[in-house]
Amino acid sequence: MLAPKTLANSPDDWWRHAVIYQIYPRSFADGNGDGVGDLRGIIDRLPAIADLGVDAVWLSPFYTSPQKDAGYDVADYCDVDPIFGSLHDAEELIATAHSLGLRVIVDVVPNHTSSEHPWFQAALASEQGSTERDRYIFREGRGDGGELPPNNWQSVFGGPAWTRLSGEDGTPGPWYLHLFDSSQPDLNWENPEVWEFFREVLKFWLDRGVDGFRVDVAHGLIKEEGLPDRVFVENPPLGDRGPHWDQERVHEVYRDWRTVLDSYGPDKMMCAEAWVLPLSRMARYVRSDEMNQAFNFGYLSTPWSAQALREVIDESLDAFGGVGAPSTWVLSNHDVVRHASRYGLSGPMASEPHGIGPDSPEKPDEELGLQVARAATTLMMALPGSAYIYQGEELGLPEVIDIPDESRDDPTFFRSQGERYGRDGCRVPLPWESDAPAYGFNSTGSSWLPQPARFAELARSEQDGVEGSTLELYKTLLTLRRESNLGSGSFEWLQGFDDDVIAFRNGSIGVIANLGSTEVDLPDGQILVVSGQHGDGSLPPNTTVWVKLAS
Ligand code: NOJ
């Protein structure tokens, strides 16, 4: 176990170089054995995360919620859902993390509430035009009898972004907007009461000691005036945003939030979940008076191609550096196919897999996927800036494909009538011990999504202390990264390598990734870590090495 660290206000902006581990509470560890992960489970397993060598944890939502979108449908922003525990548990979790030297980032979901939030319930019980309805986006429909949605916007999960109300006697009424599931009505950010409400939510959690926030759908809060139809064009240019994303005035919200966070000291941070491209546009969310970080989805979506990776690394360092912010680096999260499987896809699905299931046209090559994933992570951990790890990637977990339809939970699957499998495959509860019930996720064997038999060999207990395991690779990378200050280091491309080789230096460490199909020569210097096997003086395909450079 690592010795406890001090978490005093750090003069060097800890978030600029932090490695942040995402905990998805439903699937991390289950203290009460009901099959759904909880805060008690997290508290008990936190030492293992500190042991990995990360700087902070980000927790996906654990707030009161009917769980229609796995907690991203919040009914009470200032309490803990009983399936996860209590507010007291949340306070204990924050204190335990701090005592282990880990900072704590929590999720805030400002674009929409749950339809069970008291505000939405009050809106349903009130007249059109009332103060209660003005907190959301209600509109009359189009067509003679208002039978058509107010505009053509589509829900991210599939189907129209509008649902029509019907009165107690069945008389149809106005429609409300939901960019996600119909149980997630969009808030009206033109209403000052909404602004005031979220300031109080931020303060509530800051008062309990959190170190920052991950901001859900940060680019969605403000809609274009008049809610015009979206114009669809073939092959839209990057940055074609549509009237409900990335509107200019959304930045005013984060300037306001900055003042709230700053009133708690200099090192409280916010990270934007803003699916906005190009990265120069995303970087606007991290200007000095807004947020601190944005998830680099441009990097996450880049295929395993040397040319494409070189471009996105340059673009990232330019775009974020241009506004004085660090770049983040991320390969997996709870919304995308795990990178150990994504890199095992080669056909059309490789570019944007919306989940993989039993009937998908292509199944990942798992051996290749894991080999590339380890090489990709080894490359990523040497880049300057802040890096994210999604729970389970340190075990090399693959996407789980064989989930029966009746076990699926993601609204994407239901709203697309099963056309998109959605995100359940990356959310399967973690394997901690190979020979325990539910692989150590709990002590009862119950699990809200079925765990595959392969989890036995991938369990943490099978990898801890085992040379060459993915877990040990992550630990080594994080130790070296910390010792050499790579997160706040410098970046320079190394010349003289083939086109399908990525080669750069960060301080005195040289990083060589072989994305070609033949072995490449290693530069002189001591080998510090390698993502796979290496021959004498040469690096095989799909392998990355860190070398201590002679000069
Ligand atoms: C992004 C979250 O990461 C995702 O899980 C959620 O479904 C949507 N936002 C809606 O809140």
In short, whether 81's Cβ falls inside 6 Å of ligand 1 is no
Instruction: Please give the structure tokens belonging to residue 487.
Output: 């997160």
37 vs 52: CA distance, rounded Å: 20
Instruction: Please give the structure tokens belonging to residue 380.
Output: 């990523």
In short, whether 217's Cβ falls inside 6 Å of ligand 1 is yes
DSSP-assigned beta bridge partners for residue 271 = 214, 293
Q: Whose CA is nearest to atom 10 of ligand 1?
A: 72
Ligand 1 centre from 216 Cα, in Å?
6
Q: Whose CA is nearest to atom 11 of ligand 1?
A: 72
246 vs 90: CA distance, rounded Å: 32
Task: Give me the pLDDT at residue 3, please.
Answer: 42
Cβ pair 174, 139 in contact under 8 A: yes
Ligand 1 centre from 354 Cα, in Å?
14
Predicted confidence (pLDDT) per residue in 417-449, tens digit: 999 999 999 999 999 999 999 999 999 999 999
Cβ pair 51, 86 in contact under 8 A: no
Q: Which residues of 475-485 are buried (b: 16+ CB within 10 A; e: fewer)?
A: bbbbebbeebe
Task: Give me the pLDDT at residue 4, please.
Answer: 42
Predicted confidence (pLDDT) per residue in 197-247, tens digit: 999 999 999 999 999 999 999 999 999 999 999 998 877 766 667 899 999
In short, whether 72's Cβ falls inside 6 Å of ligand 1 is yes
Cβ pair 319, 282 in contact under 8 A: yes
Choosing from 180, 271, 332 the residue with most ligand 1 atoms within 8 A of its CB, the one to mutate for a pocket test is 180
Cβ pair 173, 139 in contact under 8 A: no
> Cβ contacts of residue 40 below 8 Å, gap of 6+?
31, 32, 85, 89
Residue 193 neighbours by CB distance under 10 Å:
12
Is 223 buried (19+), middle (13-18) or exposed (0-12) by CB count in 10 A? buried
Ligand 1 centre from 486 Cα, in Å?
31
- The ligand 1 atom at the shortest distance from the C-alpha of residue 217 is 9
Q: How many CA atoms lie within 13 A of 89 on its CB side?
A: 20
- The ligand 1 atom at the shortest distance from the C-alpha of residue 73 is 11
Cβ pair 436, 443 in contact under 8 A: yes
Q: In whole angstroms, how far apart are CA 484 and each of 325, 350, 507, 510? A: 21, 34, 8, 12
Nearest residue to 198 (alpha-carbon basis) of 95, 117, 89, 266: 117
Ligand 1 centre from 213 Cα, in Å?
14
Ligand 1 centre from 364 Cα, in Å?
25
In short, whether 180's Cβ falls inside 6 Å of ligand 1 is yes
Q: What is the CA radius of gyration of the chain?
A: 23
Tell me phi and psi for residue 510, to 5 degrees. Answer: -100, 140
Task: Give me the pLDDT at residue 351, please.
Answer: 72
For residue 110, is the peptide bond before it cis, meaning its omega torsion is within 30 degrees of 0? no
Instruction: Please give the structure tokens belonging to residue 453.
Output: 């038999």
- The ligand 1 atom at the shortest distance from the C-alpha of residue 72 is 11
The Cα angle at residue 10 between residues 474 and 317, in degrees rounded to 5: 60
In short, whether 107's Cβ falls inside 6 Å of ligand 1 is no
Q: Whose CA is nearest to atom 6 of ligand 1?
A: 72
Ligand 1 centre from 272 Cα, in Å?
12
pTM above 0.95, yes or no: yes
pLDDT tens string for the chain (551 positions)? Answer: 344 444 544 556 999 999 999 999 999 999 999 999 999 999 999 999 999 999 999 999 999 999 999 999 999 999 999 999 999 999 999 999 999 999 999 999 999 999 999 999 999 999 999 999 999 999 999 999 999 999 999 999 989 999 999 988 889 999 999 999 999 999 999 999 999 999 999 999 999 999 999 999 999 999 999 999 999 887 776 666 789 999 999 999 999 999 999 999 999 999 999 999 999 999 999 999 999 999 999 999 999 999 999 999 999 999 999 999 999 999 999 999 999 999 999 877 777 668 999 999 999 999 999 999 999 999 999 999 999 999 999 999 999 999 999 999 999 999 999 999 999 999 999 999 999 999 999 999 999 999 999 999 999 999 999 999 999 999 999 999 999 999 999 999 999 999 999 999 999 999 999 999 999 998 889 999 999 987 778 999 999 999 999 87
The three state secondary structure string of 215-233 is ECCCCCCCCCCCCCCCCCC
In short, whether 426's Cβ falls inside 6 Å of ligand 1 is no
In short, whether 424's Cβ falls inside 6 Å of ligand 1 is no
What would you measure as the largest C-alpha separation in the chain, in angstroms?
80
Tell me phi and psi for residue 511, to 5 degrees. Answer: -120, 125
Tell me the one-letter amino acid at 413: F
Active site (catalytic) residues? 216, 273
Choosing from 26, 72, 219 the residue with most ligand 1 atoms within 8 A of its CB, the one to mutate for a pocket test is 72
| Strand ranges of the sheet holding 492-493, from the earlier edge strand across to the other edge | 492-493, 501-506, 509-514, 543-549, 525-530
In short, whether 390's Cβ falls inside 6 Å of ligand 1 is no
In short, whether 216's Cβ falls inside 6 Å of ligand 1 is yes
In short, whether 335's Cβ falls inside 6 Å of ligand 1 is yes
Residue 388 neighbours by CB distance under 10 Å:
26
Q: Whose CA is nearest to atom 2 of ligand 1?
A: 216
